[in-house]
Amino acid sequence: MTRGEPVNEITDSHERLIDIVQRAGDAILEIYATDFEVTDKADDSPLTQADLAAHRVIAEGLAELDPTTPIISEESDPPPYAERRHWQRYWLVDPLDGTREFVNRNGEFTVNIALVEDGVPTLGVVGVPVQQRIFLGDCNPGRRTAYVIEAGGRQLLNTRPYSPRV
């Protein structure tokens, strides 16, 4: 994964991220169609095999795409803050955001991956498995790319320059 490729189109790295999100969504939907079990995490939030399956798909995919960038995922224990605070770049992942909605079978859950650089999210991919829709946004220097990807194709979204609040 290279930093700041100066383009306003979907790059090979974007394609690979879209594929990772699609595969994670497929893993979730496979379990969604079954009588799955629900357990509770230490914070009393629900956990299903779909959370763990999506986590595995994403962790393996990101490790292949970008092996030197660490991953923080909701479904794994992060390294101590003393180590993380020095990271300039990392992946922030919620493999199944909306587990309660997944359990309630209302279709309102997503797969979320963000690249954070110098404390600012610079790239994000959000998949909506039930709708077979993926959103991609990239605000790296020289880029302002936002797409929605659906079965019918890709649509470039209108964007405005990103200006983080300080």
Domain chopping of the chain, boundaries: 12-156
Pairing of strands 38-40, 133-138: unpaired
Residues 20-25 have a mean pLDDT of 98
Q: Is 87 in a helix, a strand, or coil?
A: coil
Residues 148-154 have a mean pLDDT of 85
**Side-chain-facing half-sphere of 27: CA atoms under 13 Å:** 20
Judged on CB neighbours under 10 Å (0-12, 13-18, 19+), 144 is: middle
* 15 or 6: which leads in pLDDT: 15
CATH number of 12-156: 3.30.540.10
* 44 or 132: which leads in pLDDT: 132
Residues 24-31 have a mean pLDDT of 98
Secondary structure element (H or E) that encloses residue 156, with its range: strand 153-156
Instruction: Tell me the pLDDT band of 4, cut-offs 50, 70 and 90.
Output: very low
DSSP codes joined into one string, 98-119 = -HHHHHHT-S--EEEEEEEETT
- Its pTM stands at 0.88
Instruction: Tell me the pLDDT band of 85, cut-offs 50, 70 and 90.
Output: very high
What's the pLDDT score for residue 18? 95
Residues 96-122 have a mean pLDDT of 95
* 139 or 20: which leads in pLDDT: 20
